[in-house]
Amino acid sequence: MYPKTPLDAVRFPLILLNQPFSHQQKHLDVLWEQSSLQAVTDGANNSLYELMKAENTTRFVPDLVTGDFDSIREEVKSFMEEKGSKIIHTPDQDKTDFRKCLEIVADQVKNEKVDFVVAFGAFGGRLDHVLSNINTLFEAPSIIKYPLYLIGDYNISFLLMPGHHTIDISSGLEGSTCGLFPLGGKCEGITTTGLKWNLNQDQMEFGGLISSCNTYEKDATEVTVENNSPILWTMDIAK
């Protein structure tokens, strides 16, 4: 069951990725406040530093600063370290900063219980970064046993592995659009309930049927999806 409980009743680490988030300040504020651990990759630290300088606070000093450090400014890295962040250099060029950060977070939480992981700043900006973030959703199950949610630019996306899923949509924070995408390849069978345009044992593939610009059935409080290959679920957050 995807999160139905209020944020303060769940425990989640937050990863901050390097996409512009200036117009989503309120989402950053809420997620940062409620997270149990904050890990910020490379250049995203520069943005947090500017925010803190402007407000004259230290409220966005993360627990962990990670990455290959080709974007983070020296004075930002020093500042974060002085204020208590643990600096972890991950130079391996065969993996993305996000993937390496997720591996570090997985290790940090291995002896505690968390409910899920959130990666914020996952959308907007460079298309290859966005698609690479999505690819990390596919890789995540082999890295960490908890669900991984990508949030950014008023989108939330997560991967539905083969099986049956129930997505709560009664929080009041949902926007009106949602979609299902077979990014891993053809999905031979998918069935949904709770959508305006439901699927019924349909096949999905790019160039064939995909479900974009879908919306919720009137009065629906949940969406169910039954799929036999990985499908990306995406929904927007109300403005």
Residues that bind other proteins (CB under 8 A): 96, 123-132, 134-135, 138-139, 153-155, 157, 177-179, 181-186, 205-207, 210, 212-213, 230, 234, 236
Task: Give 127-151 as a DSSP string.
Answer: HHHHHHHHHHHHHGGGT-SS-EEEE
Nearer to other proteins, 60 or 174 (CB): 174
CA distance 103 to 93: 15
Question: Least Å distance between CB 6 and other proteins?
Answer: 25
Least distance (Å) between residue 9 CB and other proteins: 28
Select 108 or 229, whichever has its Cβ closest to other proteins. Answer: 229
Instruction: Give least dist CB 57 to other proteins, A.
Output: 30
Q: Maximum distance among all alpha carbons in the chain?
A: 56
Residue number with CB closer to other proteins (83 or 126): 126
Q: Where are the beta strands (DSSP E) in the chain?
A: 13-16, 37-41, 64-67, 86-89, 117-120, 148-152, 155-160, 163-168, 174-181, 187-193, 202-204, 211-214, 222-227, 231-237
> Least distance from C-beta 169 to other proteins, angstroms?
15
Q: Looking at beta carbons only, is 11 or 189 nearer to other proteins?
A: 189
